[in-house]
Amino acid sequence: MRTAYDVGKVRDAERVQMARLPEGTLMGRAAAGLAATCARLLGRVYGSRVVLLVGSGDNGGDALYAGERLARRGARVEAVLAGSRTHEGGLAALRAAGGRVSDASALARADLVIDGLVGIGGKGALREPYAGLARETRHVRATVVAVDVPSGVDAGTGQVEGEAVRADVTVTFGAHKTGLLVDPGAAHAGVVELVDIGLDLPDPDVVALQDEDVADLLPRPAPESDKYRRGVVGIAAGSHLFTGAAVLAVGGAVRGGAGMVRYLGPEEPIGLVRARWPEAVTTIDDPAKVGRVQAWVVGPGLGTGEESHRIAAALLKSDVPALIDADGITLASRDRALLRRTAPTLITPHAGELSRLLGVPRERIEARRLEHARRAAEELGVTVLLKGSTTLIAEVDRPVRVNPTGTPWLATGGTGDVLSGLAGALLAGGLSCYDAASAAAYLHGLAARRAATGAPAGLPYGESPISAEDVIARLPEAFRSLIP
Ligand SMILES: NC(=O)C1=CN([C@@H]2O[C@H](COP(=O)(O)OP(=O)(O)OC[C@H]3O[C@@H](n4cnc5c(N)ncnc54)[C@H](O)[C@@H]3O)[C@@H](O)[C@H]2O)[C@@H](O)CC1
Ligand SMILES: [K+]
């Protein structure tokens, strides 16, 4: 599991250690780790050209001390001083090791650029000349290594307000910062390497599950399992207008390991569901006639009229966990009472749907995804899976989970319906809302990536657009990759 912390907690932990240790110890550890990564990336340090972008704070200090270490190993190190001040000790050390001060023209000659403009002390959009330097790093042929966080990325939220460095590698100290796991920050960070500088940290604010964590969560049938014990999921999705949502959500549930899928909907989608997924048991329109289920999925393509509201309200009165998606969320944004349930509830909005639920403009949610996912969980008293470039799972008093799998190709119609069915199957299988949402997002992302790259059936030689059905088709492979 990867864990990440808000900046305040990192600062507090640093303060404790700084009071205990001789001055400069933490920066020394940081610079040593940074220099080791740079040396590895360079392969041959002797004779290589390294350019340091140095801001006025300690982030610049880290870059200078790492530059000193590389200069001592024979690298030609040039420092571009961007701030009105410069870390004095660091600059003296670099000079003593043979490094020199230069201007931005050095960037064109570099094999490696170390971005030490700003770290966790950065506030707001980068000012000049930092912004101009960050822009120039985009055109260099060198490998770009960010110190602690890519300059221009808000370490606490992942927000990027103006220009920002796009790093190949980010070497971060003490702990991952939340902004490195959440887009757009995550997309700017490249590969993130953690240097242990000996901080004592409390519970993380954000975590990203890895293969082994998700494998531990997944329910597996035991010899004595039958379809009822494995979990029956009810799916209320689709309408005369939106028949595809029904087929895709049921597909996600069937391939997601449900013991049985009960589908509730009008005649037309029922015909299509039966044709594509004969294993589903279908009921026309009347919620009272559906047999017992262990979890409900309510909403994809359901419609938002009175009849849809009646069905949603009847189903959400039940005492089993429920996932509310798409039209279900629109209905809930008009009638919040739908969310006041006795059993656990998971909502799976994208930014537009969350915007309707919270009454906050969509752009504000896109720019501050972490904040709004947390706020929604708190305000609505439900588990929230916020879909998007980085999918987030938020629940009160738990760290926000960031989904590390997926591909931009997933941004296509119908994939959300698949996710709903899949998460519903896992809920019915006994997972909590928090775990079902996390595991479903993870598997969905893995399946999509496999669909887009063709791996592992053929050589991964590129990527292609994918359909929601492709994601369903790759779900078994995604499961197998976790459950060997
Ligand atoms: N505190 C510690 O114990 C340690 C800190 N370390 C390093 O220190 C960094 C934090 O250092 P600082 O607190 O000095 O802060 P930073 O060096 O991250 O940034 C603060 C400086 O950047 C300027 N700045 C802020 N926002 C700006 C913007 N938008 N445009 C242009 N300039 C801007 C400020 O005026 C200030 O001079 C960490 O990210 C890490 O790299 C490491 O050495 C490890 C130990
Ligand atoms: K930086």
pLDDT band for 303, please (50, 70, 90 cuts).
Answer: very high
Residue located nearest, by CA, to atom 29 of ligand 1: 126
Q: What percent of the chain has pLDDT over 90?
A: 93
Is the C-beta atom of 234 inside 6 A of ligand 1? no
State the average pLDDT for the chain. Answer: 96
The model's confidence at residue 458, banded by pLDDT at 50, 70 and 90, is: low
Ligand 1 proximity of 65 Cβ (cutoff 6 Å): no
Edge-to-edge strands, sheet with 400-402: 176-177, 2-5, 206-208, 400-402, 392-394, 383-386, 345-347, 322-324, 295-298, 232-236, 260-265, 281-284
Which distant-in-sequence residues (6+ apart) come within 8 Å of 188 by Cβ?
Answer: 146, 150, 152, 153, 160, 164, 165, 166, 167
Answer yes or no: is the C-beta of 445 below 6 A from any ligand 1 atom: no
Number of domains in the chain: 2
Q: Is the pLDDT of residue 478 over 90?
A: yes
Distance CA 459, CA 330 (A): 42
Domain termination residue (choose one: 190, 206, 222): 206
222 shares a domain with 177: no
Residue whose CA is at the smallest distance from ligand 1 atom 36: 57
Q: Of 160-164, 224-228, 295-299, where does mean pLDDT reach its minimum?
A: 224-228
b/e code 64-79 from CB counts within 10 Å (16+ = b): bbbbbbbbbeebbbbb
Tell me if 124 CB under 6 Å of ligand 1: yes
Closest C-alpha residue for ligand 1 atom 17:
57
Measured from the Cα of 26, ligand 1's closest atom is 45
Position 99 scores a pLDDT of: 98
Domain span including residue 382:
211-482
Co-location of 311 and 185 in the same domain: no
Per-residue pLDDT, averaged over 9-14, amounts to: 96
Share of the chain above pLDDT 70, in %: 99
- Kindly state if the Cβ of 332 falls inside 6 Å of ligand 1: no
Ligand nearest to the CA of 52: 2
List the beta bridge partners of residue 32: none
- CATH assignment at residue 458: 3.40.1190.20
Task: Name the residue of 25, 59, 87 whose CB sits within 8 Å of the most ligand 1 atoms, as the mutation to test its pocket.
Answer: 59
Q: In ligand 1, which atom is closest to the CA atom of 17?
A: 3
Q: Are residues 104 and 242 in the same domain?
A: no
pLDDT class of 456 with cuts at 50, 70, 90: low
Q: pLDDT tens, 344-382?
A: 999 999 999 999 999 999 999 988 899 999 999 999 999
Question: Which of 359, 390, 326, 3 shows the shortest CA–CA distance to 158?
Answer: 390
Nearest-atom number in ligand 1 for the CA of 62 is: 43
Does the Cβ of 111 fall within 6 Å of ligand 1?
Answer: no
101 or 389: which leads in pLDDT: 101
Question: What pLDDT does residue 376 have?
Answer: 98
Q: Which ligand is nearest to the CA of 27?
A: 1
Compute, in angstroms, the gap from residue 149 CA to the centroid of ligand 2. 5
- Tell me: do 228 and 201 sit in the same domain: no
Query: How high is the pLDDT of residue 228?
Result: 82
Same domain, 173 and 136: yes
Residue 229: band (very low, low, confident or very high) from pLDDT cuts 50, 70, 90: confident
The amino acid at residue 287 is P
Instruction: Write the pLDDT tens digit of every residue in 410-448.
Output: 999 999 999 999 999 999 999 999 999 999 999 999 999
Give me the pLDDT at residue 75, please: 98
Residues 301 and 409 in one domain: yes
- The pLDDT score that the predictor gives to residue 457 is 60
The number of the ligand nearest the C-alpha atom of 115 reads: 2
| pLDDT (tens digit per residue) in 108-120 | 999 999 999 999 9
Q: In the 8-state DSSP scheme, what is residue 396?
A: T
Q: Is residue 324 in contact with ligand 1, taking CB distance under 6 Å?
A: no
Is 33's C-beta closer than 6 angstroms to any atom of ligand 1?
Answer: no
Strands of 308-351 (E only): list them: 322-324, 345-347
Q: Is 27 in the pocket of ligand 1 (CB under 6 A)?
A: yes
State the closest ligand 1 atom to the C-alpha of 60, by its place in the atom list counted from 1: 17
9 and 85 within one domain: yes
The reply to whether 179 and 221 lie within a common domain is no
- Which ipTM value was assigned to this complex? 0.98
CB 245 within 8 A of CB 263: no
| CATH number, position 96 | 3.40.50.10260
**How close is the Cα of 42 to the center of ligand 1, in Å?**
26
Q: End of a domain among 153, 172, 206?
A: 206
What's the pLDDT score for residue 464? Answer: 92
pLDDT at residue 383 in the model: 98
188 in the same domain as 83: yes
Measured in residues, the chain has a length of 484
CA dist 332 and 350 (Å) reads 14
Q: Give the pLDDT band (50/70/90) at residue 283.
A: very high
Do 227 and 367 lie in one domain? The reply is yes
Whether residues 162 and 269 share a domain: the answer is no
Q: Pick the last residue of a domain from 206, 224, 258.
A: 206
- DSSP-derived pairing of the beta strands 2-5 and 206-208: antiparallel
Which residue has a Cα nearest atom 44 of ligand 1? 27
Residue in 58, 161, 192 to alter for ligand 1 test, most ligand atoms within 8 A of Cβ: 58
pLDDT in tens, 151-192: 999 999 999 999 999 999 999 999 999 999 998 899 999 999
Element (H, E) at 17: helix 7-20
pLDDT score for 224 = 82
Residue type for position 93 = A
| Together in a domain, 262 and 336 | yes
DSSP string, 267-287: HHHHHHHHHH-TTSEEEES-G
Q: Is residue 55 lining ligand 1, measured as CB closer than 6 Å?
A: yes
What is the number of the ligand 1 atom nearest to the C-alpha of 18?
A: 3
Distance 122 CA to ligand 1 centre (A): 6
- Name the pLDDT band for 470 (thresholds 50, 70, 90): very high
Beta-carbon contacts of 372 under 8 Å, excluding residues fewer than 6 positions away, are: 354, 358, 360, 364, 365, 386
- Residues that constitute the known binding site for (6S)-NADPHX: 58-62, 119-125, 130, 148, 245, 301, 350, 417
Tell me the CA–centroid distance for residue 462 and ligand 1, in Å.
39
Annotated binding site for AMP: 387-391, 416
